[in-house]
Structure 1
Amino acid sequence: MTERPPSDPKLSATVLLLRNAQPAPEVLMVKRHYEIDFAAGALVFPGGKAAAGDADPGWDAYTDGDFGPVQQDARIAAIREAYEESGLVIARHRTARGPDAPLVDAEIADLLSPYRSAVDKGEASFLELIRSKDLVLALDSLVHFGHWITPIMMPKRFDTHFYLAPAPERQIAAHDGRETTDAVWLSATEALRQEKEGEATIIFPTRMNLVKLARATSVEFAVKTFGAEPVVSVLPKPGKTEDGAPCLFIPEEAGYGQTMELLSNVKV
């Protein structure tokens, strides 16, 4: 029997939205709906597959930052997904743009909120919505944090870029009720504790990025420190431990402090 070649991974993006808290910064996580076919019921960061509209050349006039085709598309996807799944809008007024300009406040987020479902379902254009409100997406506020590619033996594969960004002040996160059933702010340590104690389901890439994030003592620390570190692509490779247990290996230079994960611990 001929072995089927691995499927091509689809460009995806996710964003770790951070806010300062004590004793450690908190990250926004949403709970996946139990009827979703991937990571059902899991705590994840807002994110998903890139859509065709994310690559529209019309975005050039409505984005801050110059990142090239793949990075621009992925960053637009990350911001769109954050809007769809949490209601948070990572954008600036077009008349007051640039890296030092503030993000829009709750008034603008509330104005865009009624369109979330239509954009999510592809019934409305995110670009046209941003253009109609005279906004620009703050792509430059996202820090490239991780890059994970689904192992080749999986039937559904994703080429996922992880970003972190300061959460917009005075905006309130709310789950969408369709793909997500809850939105919570947790420190990385608390999220990992919940997973360890069986109180939450967290998939392998999410858990590793929480482990990495746990180093941060503030949002400012996270932006400065992780923004200066190189991002090493992670394509987990199947193998076996010395005892013969099936596992996945990831490169040490990726900086997660772990290079092997038992397949029995990998949730999908």
Structure 2
Amino acid sequence: MSVPIRPASTVVLLRDGEQELEVLMVRRNRALAFAGGFWVFPGGAVDEADRTRGGDDPDEAARYAAAREAEEEAGVSPDPESMVLISHWTTPVGERKRFSTWIFAGEVAPDSEVVIDGSEIHDYQWIGVKQALETHRAGELPMMPPTFITLCAVARYNTASEALAGERETPCPRVLPLLVPLKNKGEGEGGFATLYPGDAAYETGDLEVEGPRHRAFLSNASWQYQYVDVTEPPLYPQD
């Protein structure tokens, strides 16, 4: 049965911290069917008002949706006109719920007050971007692959203004992953990998096939990103 793909949008809210660039992360209610208990960026579905405001441009409708959801879920109001589109992700085929999700970045004042809704969102934290990745790699701060990849992209910057300027000049990947269960103990038996264009297994799902590696896999409760011998561009610039 075909699963409808719902348009959604989210925003990476950034501020300049005392030690490093900080990001607002919110924790979804554990009772939610989709990503319950995971740490995410504020966001949600694109609604009719967003589409009206964005005219015929789905990117613009998503922009206004991301700003609106930040206000509704966290009480923070980024300027939608200055937000920058980082990436676009479509939920893999086979999932029970599928979304077409725009991910933006926006700067907010360091003293912005956060007020979570207490319904979909049960907790929040301002955390250094690099610290968030370190905490995740330690097996804490559970998140989905797009969140992890986005943090890796933003971790290249030192300030919010630098991040927005850099992402304006960075190509926006539009990603449809292939979701494949893992059997290799070395890559976290019982988990799964998400494959991206350019991976040797992207068309077939055969993780053992030789060739380029463009994938993320869950190992010890944290995501790892592989980009080896790939002709397709990476999901974020590599060193």
User: Same fold per TM (> 0.5)?
Assistant: yes
Give the Cα separation in 1 of the matches to 2:122 and 2:181. Answer: 36
Matched-pair contact (CA < 8 Å) for 1:204–1:266: no
Whole-angstrom distance in 2 between the partners of 1:88 and 1:241: 39
Which residue, 6, 24, 48 being the options, matches 1:10? 6
- Which whole-Å deviations, capped at 9, do the CAs of 1:140-199 have from their partners, x for residues lacking one? 211001111100111100000000011145431121111111121111211122222233
Q: Does 1:78 align with 2:85?
A: no
Aligned residue runs from structure 1 range 206-245, under 5 A: 206-239=147-180
- Determine helix, strand or coil for the equivalent of 1:259: strand
1:118-133 aligned at under 5 Å gives the runs none
Residues 1:25 and 2:21 aligned together? yes
Find the aligned partners of 2:10 and 2:156 in 1 and give their Cα distance. Answer: 19
2-side partners of 1:209 and 1:221: how far apart? 15
Read off the aligned partner of 2:151 and give its amino acid letter.
Answer: L
- Give the TM-score normalised by structure 2: 0.76
Q: Decide which structure has greater strand share.
A: 2
1:200 paired with 2:141, answer: yes
Does the 8 A contact of 1:237 with 1:250 survive in 2? yes
User: What's the CA shift string for 1:204-254, capped at 9, x where partnerless?
Assistant: 11111111111111112101111111101111023578959753212369x
Alpha-carbon distance between aligned partners in 2 of 1:25 and 1:168, rounded to the nearest angstrom: 12
Contact 1:10 1:157 in 2 (8 A): yes
- The CA distance in 2 between the partners of 1:207 and 1:154, in whole Å, is 19
**1:89·1:168 contact (CA, 8 Å) conserved in 2?**
no
Unaligned runs of 5+ in 1: 61-66, 91-137
SS of the residue aligned with 2:125?
A: strand
Q: Match for residue 135 of structure 1? A: none
| Secondary structure class of the residue paired with 2:86 | strand
- Residue of structure 2 equivalent to 1:47: 43
1:198 aligns to what SS in structure 2? Answer: coil
Q: Is 1:89 the equivalent of 2:77?
A: yes
The separation in 1 between residues aligned to 2:138 and 2:218, in whole angstroms, is 19
The one-letter code of the counterpart of 1:215 is R
SS in 2 for 1:181: strand
Q: CA RMSD in A?
A: 2.7
CA contact (8 A) 1:150 1:236 kept: yes
Corresponding residue SS for 1:27:
strand
- 2:142 touches 2:222 (CA, 8 Å); kept in 1? no
Q: Is the 8 A contact 2:87 2:174 kept in 1?
A: yes
Which of the numbers 174, 185, 195 marks the counterpart of 2:126? 185
Cα distance, 1:252–1:212 mapped onto 2, change above 3 Å: farther
Give yes or no for contact 1:88–1:168 (8 Å, CA) kept in 2. Answer: no
Instruction: Write the distance in 2 (CA, Å) between the matches of 1:68 and 1:168.
Output: 31
| Structure with bigger gyration radius | 1
Q: How many residues align?
A: 204
Partner of 1:163: 104
Contact 1:188/1:214 (CA < 8 Å) preserved in 2?
Answer: yes
Match of 1:261 among 213, 216, 233: 216
TM-aligned CA deviation for residue 25 of structure 1: 0.5
Deviation at 1:260, TM superposition (A): 1.1
Aligned counterpart, 1:104: none
Q: TM-score, normalised by structure 1?
A: 0.68
CA distance in 2, matches of 1:15, 1:28: 9
- Could you tell which deviates more after superposition, 21-30 or 76-85? 21-30
SS of equivalent residue, structure 2 residue 102: strand
Question: Structure 1 residues 178, 228: CA separation in 2 closer, same or farther (over 3 Å shift)?
Answer: same
Gaps of 5+ in 2: 200-212, 224-239
The CA distance in 1 between the partners of 2:218 and 2:24, in whole Å, is 27
